[in-house]
Structure 1
Amino acid sequence: MIENKTYPSTEILTDDEYFNQLDLLFELYNLKKQQNEIKKKLKKLKKKAKRSTEEEVSTQFKALKFISNEIKQKLKKVNSQIREPYNFFKIKSQIQSINNYILELNKSFKRKEIDINTRLITFNYYKSQLDGYEKSLRRIRIVAEEYFFYLRNQKIELMANDSIMKKKMSRKKVKREEYKAFKKENSLKKDVSREAMSFLKEIILNFKLI
């Protein structure tokens, strides 16, 4: 469904607020992946029900349904926090829908199902909608690129901290327990940065407009 709405290409936000919007998109992306995995497991479980005991399947089904409901609640919460000009997934969907509609419009015109005036008026209307969405998308990509480099620098800093702490450990300037705790926390931060960078690059920055 194409919404009768255009989004502004810019909005007055601080860098932290811009990046927070991208963090929310990343969280939304991961939740959707989890949701799809649960759906696959539920589908397999229905097939398994034919050759397993009712009690065994019932327990697993209830557990998966509980997780599924938890994910739905989280998705709802995250979606409510994403500002419409930065909802990449929604904007992407609208762009694809409008492009498909324009394609069908042109086919209808070639088949002489509509006259030139109808085609022109309708095309111009949806083209203006498309321009609004594309401006918003370009803004998202600019911010995504800035955030990508921010995270890359953060990752370099985390790696440098690793080396510093390792030297301190070898010189016995920190206790082993302290080093292990630091290493665990730092590794987690690096993993999050790496996954976020991958999301920004593969999902947002590599998305091509038609």
Structure 2
Amino acid sequence: MTSEPVTYPGYRFPAEIISYAVWLYHVFGLSFREVELILAERGVTVSHESIRQWCHKFGADFARKLRRRRPKPGDTWHLDEVFLRINGELHYLWRAVDQHGVVLDILVQGRRNAAAAKRFFKRLLAGLRYRPKRLITDGLRSYGVAHREILPEVKHRSSRHLNNRAENSHRPTRRRERQMQRFKSSKQAQHFLSSHAMIYGHFRPRRHLMTAAQYRRARAEAFRVWRQETCVQIAA
């Protein structure tokens, strides 16, 4: 019996091509037209608009599957927020990472007051079903309010200098924001960044803490999980 490539219902291109396009877009910071060019060089003729639709639909689905596969987060959570200017209005990107630099969740909000902080805390706890032993934040007072009301039993350190891990995790977002010439809406920013944080992070282990052999094993495992979760396999 001959083998046939797996396809997604309603899509004429094989799953391997679609998942490859999504991978290129999120991992390497390429535009849709650049992904179109790479696929064209490989003999695949597809428009950048189709690639946009793939990344919008399948990017979120792949990220959701990867999120289910990630290990239990560390017990120290770093929380930080940075501003995003969307259509001339100021928004804030709230982000939480553990002590290993793994992104736990992100949330785009229009405020950074106590209500916004509590909303982010509740989202974190609902999505992870774990509670940390320690929280590290910057000096924003809103974190203190949310901590006292939602996680009073957790130790809380407020220090700008201890929170570099969360601040550094914003760098990929800033690069994509510039490349995309800013986000067009808070909904678009939330949708894209939720997918990007998970897919990009999946292929970015802490290489500086690994030997070459350890990194190659981690990379191979990342690809194995990606192929499994995107159903890129040959159907017998």
Which bin holds the TM-score, normalised by the shorter protein? Answer: under 0.3
Alignment TM-score, normalising by the size of structure 2: 0.23
Greater share of helix: 1
Alignment TM-score, normalising by the size of structure 1: 0.25
Larger radius of gyration: 1
Greater share of strand: 2
